[in-house]
Amino acid sequence: MMSDSWMALYVAYSIVWLGLFSFLGYMYLRQRRIDKDIKMLKEEVSRHDK
């Protein structure tokens, strides 16, 4: 009977941690991808200009 409650606690804490960290991770990855795109485009522009 007691372990049921502990299980619930673990599940809830996992939801919190996984939720927060996956969102943060997603944000960091997205930022990296955008930075890469920007750099690529800027290089293309400078090559184009030359």
Cα→Cα distances 14→4, 40, 41, 48, Å: 15, 38, 40, 50
* 43 lines the binding site for another protein (CB under 8 A): no
Cα separation of 19 and 15, whole Å?
6
* Nearest distance, CB of residue 50 and another protein, angstroms: 14
**Location of structure tokens 């960091």:** 28
* Nearest distance, CB of residue 16 and another protein, angstroms: 5
User: According to CB under 8 A, which one of 23, 25, 46, 47 is a site residue for another protein?
Assistant: 23
Give the Cβ contact number of residue 16 at 10 Å: 10
Positions that interact with another protein (CB under 8 A): 1-2, 4-6, 8-9, 11-13, 15-16, 19-20, 23-24, 27-28, 30-31, 34-35, 37-38, 41-42, 44-45, 48
